[in-house]
Structure 1
Amino acid sequence: SEIANPGERTVARALIEHLPNRVEVFHGFNWLTRSRTGTIQEGECDFVLLDAEKGLLFVEVKGGSLLFDGRQWVRDVRGELRLLNKDPFAQAQRGMHDIVGLVRSQFGRAGDNLPFTYGFAVAFPDCRIDGQLPPSILRELILDAASLRQVDASVRRIFRSFNRAGHRALSGRSVESVRAALFPKYQLIPVMWRKIEDQEERLRRLTDAQQRILDILANQTRAAIRGVAGSGKTILALAKAQAIARAGARTLFLCYNRPLKDWLRNAVSESHGDSLVIENYHGLADALCRQAGVPLWEMGDTGDKAFWTDVASEALMQACERLGPEHKFDALVGDEGQDFHELWWASLESVFRDPEDKACYYVFYDPNQNLYVERPCLPPELGEPYELPENCRNTVRIAEHCASLVGQQTRSRDGAPVGDEPEVVRVRTLADAFREAGRRVRNLCMPNLGGLRFSQIAVLAPGFSSNDWPAQFGAIPATKSFEEWGEDKGVLIASWHRFKGLEADAIVTIEMPVRDGARERVNRYVARSRAKHLLMVIEVREA
């Protein structure tokens, strides 16, 4: 581009037109340094000449008519004499030393001389030298109007004046090192934590579909709400349960997964006292059986699946027959409804104070996340389900990836962040998978790479491999405790089933070879859809 300063433009033309092609001319080099007291100081050099044969030359340019009165420099501006605020020779010399310091760092010579010559000069393109120079200025360091006409010879003369013992021509590698010092290449890499923070802000906004569901539930006491993974079912269910409790109805929020129950209890910021109870189904059965004196844990073999599906529900109904209304509920809001067995729904009728006059009965569910019930069903009184079709948890790319696992078309809200493409890598063994997971976790946590907190990351692994789960990923602590994870004491490592209903900003999932195709797709859909912003899948080839 055109150089605005006329004096610098004149010098640039002379240098480019008359110096050999091997000489590289850099214009307008700027830098910042610190003074001895730590104050930031600006530096600027008009031209830097890089000659592989001769070395480095730094040129300061002063255009117009100037004179030196023996003490200070003065510029004649249309008959008015104005003092220069800097001595141009002192300025050029200081600039040379500052820049040479930068170059030394590339050569690993912080306190040593460089192996080539470097020097400085001052150009006065509009003047000629007249009179006697002071001792502090050498004639050969001046490029006046006459010298610029023979600038090649003048520059060679300056290099000879500064010729240093042991000087040798710069190798190609040395030239690259000088270029790297003068104009280092750098990138402004978006830090992962900030990218996630920005995406999270956009995902938090209530969708039109979510607002519509809240409007419907405001005028309807019974409803089933079917939503895709990430549609906000749990958050809406909790918000509705809190609203009902605030209105004076004793409310039960019920889910399947115990870690989800714990998370929900921590998520409730206000104290509802006894008016809002958050439990998972078996936690509810245990609590009410204890209050009623029903020996739940003596009624069957806990190692038998039937204990959890049939015996627990029978015990819950027995307990409710013994308990008074103060232990029961006016309203029930259920989440993870697809994982509730038919007998459970029947048993839950007994937890209402008046089963014929329920204050509210809502169930949120996703049939594609059915992990435990072969043929899920809901109470008929809830009617046809309302839909939450928009994914507002995951980035667009994660939502599309997860929907494809179960043959769905996904809908993401307008303005949802696109995010990064999920990564899928394949390794040979489970041990290889944990090593790869460790590498990913370390990259996510390192301050200069991901910068994420431990509580933002979860590694989901097959439950049968729990004995092989690492205690740490390199220097990054790992934990199986959801409480410790929430307190940021370590990156969580958990099974897919234990993590069901929860979410994390970054998920690393370890998956074994597929055995039952349909069931495995559901499992993977559930596990992968837990990732809000970053998803890394590690597939193991050998069982």
Structure 2
Amino acid sequence: MAICIPPPESMHAESAGERRLYDALRSGLSDEYLVLHSVAWIAKPRGAGPRDGEVDFLICHPRRGLLIVEVKGGRIALDYAGRNWTSTDRNDVEHVIGNPFEQAKKGKFAILEKLKESPLWQKLGIGRFTLGHGVVFPDVDDADRLQGPDAPRQIIGDRRTLSAISAWVEGLHDFWAEPTTASSASVIGTRGIETVRRIFARVGTTRALLSARLAEEEERRITLTERQSVILDMLSRHRRVMVAGGAGTGKTLIARQKAVRSAEHGLSTLLLCYNRGLADHLRELSADVEGLEVATFHQLCRRWIERARIEFGRDLVAEAQHDYPLGNEYDHHQPIALALAVDLFGFSYDAIIVDEGQDFGDEFWMPIELLLSDHADGLLYVFLDENQDIYRRSAAIPIDGAPLFLDRNCRNTAPIHAAAYRYYRGDTIEAPAIAGKAVELLVSPDRARQAAAISNLVTKLVAEEGVAPHDIGVLLCNARDRQDCERALLRTTIPKQANWGRLEGYRPGSVTVDSVARFKGLERPIVILWGLDGCDPVIDREILYVGMSRAKSLLYLCGTKDTCDRLVKASVG
């Protein structure tokens, strides 16, 4: 039985003929074969722009080489003189189609082009190898009648082929193989097969959303769920897509993975977000990825603005302020200045991936589009959670249609999911199948005693339970209370291997103390949510939702008894 990607339970095909051929290949070929269905890619040949490619089937054998197979359903009619092809469906409706043999041939050479540009393939040093193509018409029994100058009988399959698929595939290999007396073809081998799989059907994994230092100590990986993998595959077939989902559904993981894939495909790629802490973290994780730039939107603005000042002596922010005096610097003048800078220097990126898209204002999107090498059809992917709109932006995202939706929480435990999603509004998000401890309350009547309760908890976690201090975050719902809360904590005592620190000072041994707003997009195994007194479950819904959902394993709420009881029992989603 052949190894097939995707596996049968995940295989989706609009064409019934593709499904029948998939089943025939899977059951009729040996396990030496790797069969990839619906293979899509973006190639960027040297000196050329991005090119999309897709084939119905890629059949791989370590000794025989690679075969590209196209599938055309319905009753087929052709006119080689007029170069006309038609397919008649089950409702007797005739459709004009392209020449499937020409499509298969183009797919074959595009596959070769994609392999040659991959550093992974280049390292193997494989020279010329057997590469062929064929076409299967699964709804007809007499496809031999479709022979033509570019369609010899040996590369044509029909309904009869499905019951003798092994012989047909072997015959296709034989047809395209070099003559044995003059063969100079290489054998791609098992390493070649694995490299093909990595290039066209790689399973993506990424680190948990903690700093690189935490990842090294924790040595954990978050494997993309099947749903997330399907989203990544779907993104390979679209140029502009929004992806939405609740907290913990893997949006940032997928955004980073998509950015890495784009860069590895040779595209100049920009990964943008709103929060500096998230950008710093993603930049650390992506430091070794060539062709990938990571920044917050305003870091990007400042970089281009400074470049204009150095190279042209122009103060673009001042120019924007002069032309638009009623705006403010961050929401209006810096985005306008970035657009002016793009006019000066030209576009810069083949692909732009935006995380935290709900926090991007209307004025942000025009310069983002201008930065694309293809303004009208450039690769733009936006990931967002409308429930995390704590900056209350009104983002006119330049992507038509409804977003793809992630519907499974893969970050939190079930009790944390239940607590956070009490404040969520939107489509149902499936709770994680991770049993965990109930959300705990640190009840104290005032700030000083609340700080002492937090200090005692941190001491217990670090000294008695062996928790690393940097796995703990104290998040404040009201950023205006930060200095007072920090001073209250500094008057307490915690183990000497731990210290209180802000997000930008994150390091081993540092317990993060910062606002929920600055912590957006990040997570910690343990979160203590503080500054709750005065929070209103309705007015502060987004802050509570974001703050609670940052916790992976343990969540503590710290406040007065009335506050904690009210927030735990609230129902505002």
How high is the TM-score relative to the length of structure 2? 0.54
Q: In structure 2, what is the equivalent of residue 422 of structure 1? A: 439
Q: Closer, same or farther in 2 for the Cα pair 1:441/1:283, shift >3 Å?
A: same
Q: Does residue 300 of structure 2 align to residue 284 of structure 1?
A: yes
Aligned to 1:366: 385
Q: Name the CA distance, whole Å, in 2 between partners of 1:385 and 1:211.
A: 16
Q: Which runs of 5+ in 1 are unaligned?
A: 1-195
Whole-Å separation in 2 of the counterparts to 1:407 and 1:252: 30
- Alpha-carbon contact 1:441-1:473 (below 8 Å) kept: no
> Does residue 329 of structure 2 align to residue 312 of structure 1?
no
Query: How far apart, in 2, do the equivalents of 1:420 and 1:411 lie?
Result: 19
1:488 aligns with 2:500: no
Corresponding residue of 2:457: 440
8 Å CA contact retained: 2:481, 2:531: no
Distance 1:515 1:271, change over 3 A: closer
Q: Give the structure 2 partner of residue 538 of structure 1.
A: 558
Aligned match for 2:417, one of 378, 396, 399 = 399
Whole-Å Cα distance in 2 between the matches of residues 338 and 308 of structure 1?
Answer: 16
Following the alignment from structure 1 to structure 2, what is the Cα–Cα distance between the partners of residues 400 and 331? 36
Assess if the C-alpha contact under 8 Å between 1:331 and 1:352 holds in 2. Answer: yes
1:345 aligns with: 365
Letter of the 1:412 partner, please give it: A
Q: Which amino acid aligns with 2:304?
A: L
- Do the aligned partners of 1:367 and 1:376 also contact (CA within 8 Å) in 2? no
Give, as a single letter, the amino acid of the residue that structure 2 aligns with 1:319: A
Aligned partners of 2:562 and 2:413: how far apart in 1?
31
Matches within 5 A, 1:116-155: none
Instruction: Indicate conservation of the 8 Å contact 2:317/2:333, yes or no.
Output: no
What does residue 224 of structure 1 align with?
A: 242
Q: Structure 1 residue 434: deviation in Å? A: 1.4
> Per-residue CA shift, 1:231-279, capped at 9, x if unaligned?
010011001101101111111100000010001111125241xx21100
1:438: Cα distance to partner? 1.0
2:529 match: secondary structure: strand
* Conserved? CA contact 1:203–1:393, under 8 Å: no
- State the 1:515 CA deviation: 5.3
Larger radius of gyration: 1
Would the alpha carbon gap of residues 337 and 538 (structure 1) be closer, same or farther in structure 2, given more than 3 Å must change?
A: same
5+ residue gaps, structure 2: 1-213, 564-573
| Counterpart position of 1:354 | 374
- Shift of the alpha carbon at 1:475? 2.6
How far 1:519 sits from its partner (Å)?
Answer: 3.6
Deviates more, 1:255-264 or 1:214-223: 214-223
2:276 is aligned with 1:258: yes
Are residue 529 (structure 1) and residue 549 (structure 2) matched? Answer: yes
Whether the 8 Å CA contact 1:330–1:353 is kept in 2: the answer is yes
One of 422, 446, 450 as aligned partner of 2:465: 450
Q: Kindly provide the CA deviation profile for residues 451-481 of structure 1, in whole angstroms up to 9, marking residues without a partner as x.
A: 1112211111232122220346423533434
Cα pair distance change 1:518/1:227, threshold 3 Å: same
Q: 1:267 to 1:473 in 2, by over 3 A?
A: farther
* 2:233 partner SS: helix
Corresponding residue number in structure 2 for 1:240: 258
Percent sequence identity over aligned pairs: 30
Contact 2:272/2:296, CA 8 A, preserved across alignment: yes
Report what 1:460 is aligned to.
475
The answer on whether the counterparts of 1:202 and 1:417 sit within 8 Å (CA) in structure 2 is no
Report how many aligned residue pairs link the two structures. Answer: 333
Give the C-alpha shift of residue 397 in structure 1. Answer: 1.2
